[in-house]
Amino acid sequence: MPTQLEHLKQFTTVVADTGNFRQLAQFAPHDATTNPSLILKAVQQPEYAPLLAECVATHRGKPLPDIVDQVLVRFGCEILALIPGRVSTEVDARLSFDTAATVARAHRLMALYQHAGVPRERVLIKVAATWEGIQAARVLEREGIHCNLTLLFSFCQAVACGEAGVTLISPFVGRIYDWYKKSAGLGWDELAHAGLNDPGVRSVTQIYTYYKHFGISTEVMGASFRNVGQILALAGCDLLTISPDLLALLQSADVEAAPVVRILDPEAAKVAHMPAISYHEAAFRYALNDDAMATEKLAEGIRAFAGDAVKLDKMIELALG
C-alpha cells in the first residue's frame, strides 16, 4: 500500500537528518544531513564506539581539531555509502563569526573527503548563516566547494545566501514555530497556527516563492520539523530534511487515508507579486537585528552547536587518555 513518504518523494527530495547511519536504509533517502548535536548523539551510542575509537587511534598525535574533523568525515563517508546523493558536514560552530577560519576549516574537511575518494559534488559544507558565514560560503562556492547554510531563520538571511550563490539553505521550520509558540504563551492557538499558517511553514514558503520568482538557483531545504503536518505543508519544496522518527511516521501512514498534495509550485511562484531585495552588510545586520525571533534563535543555535562541539572534543580527549 502506498505511503505518505513514497508520495512525498514525487514532489520533494527527501533527506535524512541524522548521524545514525544505521537507520538510513529503511527510509531510502536521497541525501543526508548531520550537525554537531547529531554526531555527538551518535558517538555516545555503543554501536558507534568502535568507529570513534578507530578514528582516535589512527590519528593519535594530531591536533584535536584535526581528529574531530576525521571523525566527522568518517561518519560522512559511512553515510555516503548508503545514499545516492550528498551529505552535509558542518564547520565548527565556534567559527561562525570568522570568515577566514570557516574557509580554512571547509578546505580541510573537503581535503579529507577527497583523500577518502569522495568527489566534491557529493559533499555540502554546512555553515551557520551569519554574515561572516555567508561570505565564507561565497568564497567557497567560487572555488567549487558547495555549501549548505544552516541556522537560517529570517528572510534577510535567505536573500543574502541567494546573492552569495550558495548551493543550498536550511531554514529551520520547527525552531521558528517554537519561538512563536513560546512567545504567545497561553494565548497560542495550535489549530489556528497549523498547516499553511504555521509560522515556520510560512517562512519557508516566502523564501521558496522569492527564489523561484527571481530565478535564484539556491535550493531550499526545510529543516527542523516538529510534526508531520509541517512537512506535508511544504510538499513540493526542493528538499526536506527529516528526522528518523518523523520519517517512520510518514512511512507508516497510508496515503489513501491521508493524501499528500503538492503545496509549493515553482510555476505559481513565478507569477507571484513581490519586490526584489538586496542586502549589503549594514542592511543585513539591521534587518536581522530587527527580527527578534531570528536574532534569538540564531544565537541560541550557535551556542547549542558550539556546546556540543565542546562535548565532542572532551569525548575525544578522554579517548586519547
What does residue 170 show for φ and ψ, rounded to 5 degrees?
-125, 80
Q: Rounded to whole angstroms, how far apart are CA atoms 302 and 151?
A: 8
Q: Exposed, middle or buried: residue 162 (CB in 10 Å: 0-12, 13-18, 19+)?
A: buried
Q: Record the cell numbers describing residue 244, joined without a space.
A: 528518523
The three grid cell numbers given for residue 141, joined into one nine-digit string: 562556492
Helix (H/G/I), strand (E/B), else coil: 90: strand
- Asked about 311 being catalytic, the answer comes back as no
Q: How far apart are CA 216 and CA 218, in angstroms?
A: 6
Task: Given the residues 9, 126, 212, 314, select the one marked as catalytic.
Answer: 126
Locus of grid cell 489513501: 256
For helices 155-163 and 281-289, what crossing angle results, to 10°? 160
**Is the Cβ–Cβ distance between 261 and 235 less than 8 Å?**
yes
A 10 A CB-CB count for 103 gives 22
Residues assigned a catalytic role: 126
